């Protein structure tokens, strides 16, 4: 269930949205809600899909390892929707035991050393001082796909926590979850195993410059191009949705952020934004919660923002900008050093 905004359904899509949806359906297996929620801003939808596809769905790294990253980052961010979604994808890839272990946060049940090390790295991505980030379980050639997948899910988890329900499954009763997840995994298995061409999504948006805080993507041409386009689309959406002083405040907060957000730091930020007028304060509060405390995003903050900024595009742009600002910051912690 998508909350707060109206989206373009696949049956009524046209133009750029229809083109992206067709490729999502072909390569991902279904036009799922995390893509649909971007549809009020077609360029943002295209950029999000490009960043996802060119990191997670294609490349030199086995898809299973990248689904492990997606599911583990989602556990880290307490995004129940995305944990369900990517453990379903792991099951579709034939890794039901790994999916079950991540779903229940029983990481000690993982017997494969490589998989276990990838999970531990993913769970450390929001801890910049962790030794696990200094010695990642992948090569420089593989880094853009691993880091790109982690960065994308730090972004998507925030969007999902704000706009989606607790599960992609049609029912959430405990006794039905296992059979429903099994059925869902079968839905995606064909698309998951279908051969895909690197760079196919790059047709949707014109080339853009890669920001310096995404330089980890440079070793892979298609990942770098996809993320450059995504970054430009997010920045343009943010400029339209959030006052400049709000974006500056979030940037200032992120410059000091160490991955942990305490009640004290949120209280400090609350005091800092009290100098704004009511509309700007509502925007700043939503943006700060989205960036720094995604598990604490509540309807109250969303509705307060909508009171002053009622357009769907404004809410989507504000959430996307704040989500990506935090995800980019995390990406700088994951950058490999020579």
Confirm if 198 and 59 have CB atoms less than 8 A apart.
yes
Confirm if 49 and 20 have CB atoms less than 8 A apart.
yes
Confirm if 60 and 29 have CB atoms less than 8 A apart.
no
pLDDT for the residue numbered 180: 59
pLDDT for the residue numbered 175: 41
Read off φ and ψ for residue 2, nearest 5 degrees: -95, 125
Handedness of CA 326, 327, 328, 334 (dihedral sign): positive
* CB neighbour class for 274 (10 Å; exposed up to 12, middle 13-18, buried from 19): exposed
pLDDT for the residue numbered 272: 83
- CB atoms near residue 194 (< 10 Å): 11
Give Cα separations from 178 to 3, 17, 96, 175, 191 (angstroms): 25, 33, 11, 7, 21
pLDDT for the residue numbered 203: 97
pLDDT for the residue numbered 177: 56
pLDDT for the residue numbered 298: 84
- Note down pLDDT in tens along the chain; length 338 residues: 899 999 999 999 999 999 999 999 999 999 999 999 999 999 999 999 999 999 999 999 999 999 999 999 999 999 999 999 999 999 989 999 999 999 999 999 999 999 999 999 999 999 999 999 999 999 999 999 999 999 999 999 999 999 999 888 765 545 445 655 666 677 788 888 899 999 999 999 999 999 999 999 999 999 999 999 999 999 999 999 999 999 999 999 999 899 887 665 677 778 888 899 999 999 999 999 999 998 888 889 999 999 999 999 999 999 999 999 999 999 999 998 65
User: Which DSSP helix (H) or strand (E) runs through 330?
Assistant: helix 312-334
pTM assigned to the model: 0.94
- Sketch the domain layout of the chain as residue ranges: 15-234, 242-334
The CATH code of the domain at 15-234 is 1.20.1290.10
- CB atoms near residue 14 (< 10 Å): 10
Residues with catalytic roles = 82
Place of tokens 């309807």: 299
The pair of structure tokens assigned to 73 is: 């980052």
pLDDT for the residue numbered 170: 62
Confirm if 161 and 294 have CB atoms less than 8 A apart.
yes
Number of helices (H), then strands (E), in the chain: 16, 0
């Amino acid at each position: 269930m998508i909350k707060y905004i109206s989206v373009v359904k696949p049956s009524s899509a046209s133009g750029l949205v229809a083109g992206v949806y067709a490729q999502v359906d072909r390569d991902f297996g279904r036009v799922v809600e995390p893509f649909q929620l971007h549809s009020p801003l077609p360029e943002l939808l295209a950029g999000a899909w490009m960043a996802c596809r060119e990191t997670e769905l294609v490349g030199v790294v086995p898809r299973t390892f990248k689904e492990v990253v997606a599911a583990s980052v989602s556990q880290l961010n307490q995004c129940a929707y995305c944990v369900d979604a990517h453990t379903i994808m792991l099951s579709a890839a034939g890794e039901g035991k790994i999916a079950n272990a991540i779903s229940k946060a029983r990481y000690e049940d993982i017997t494969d050393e490589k998989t276990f090390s990838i999970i531990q790295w993913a769970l450390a991505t929001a801890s910049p001082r962790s030794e696990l980030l200094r010695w990642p379980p992948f090569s420089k050639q593989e880094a853009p796909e691993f880091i790109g997948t982690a960065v994308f899910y730090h972004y998507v988890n925030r969007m999902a926590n704000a706009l989606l329900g607790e599960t992609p499954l049609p029912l959430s009763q405990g006794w039905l979850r296992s059979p429903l997840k099994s059925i869902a995994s079968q839905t995606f298995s064909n698309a998951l195993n279908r051969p895909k061409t690197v760079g196919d999504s790059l047709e949707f948006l014109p080339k853009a410059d890669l920001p310096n805080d995404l330089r980890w993507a440079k070793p892979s041409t298609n990942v770098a191009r996809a993320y450059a386009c995504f970054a430009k689309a997010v920045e343009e959406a943010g400029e339209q949705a959030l006052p400049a002083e709000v974006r500056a405040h979030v940037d200032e907060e992120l410059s000091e952020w160490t991955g942990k957000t305490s009640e004290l730091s949120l209280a400090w930020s609350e005091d800092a934004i009290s100098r704004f007028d009511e509309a700007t304060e509502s925007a700043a509060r939503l943006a700060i919660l989205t960036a720094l405390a995604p598990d604490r995003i509540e309807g109250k903050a969303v509705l307060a923002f909508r009171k002053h900024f009622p357009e769907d595009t404004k809410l989507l742009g504000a959430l996307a900008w704040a989500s990506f600002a935090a995800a980019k910051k995390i990406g700088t912690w994951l950058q490999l050093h020579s």
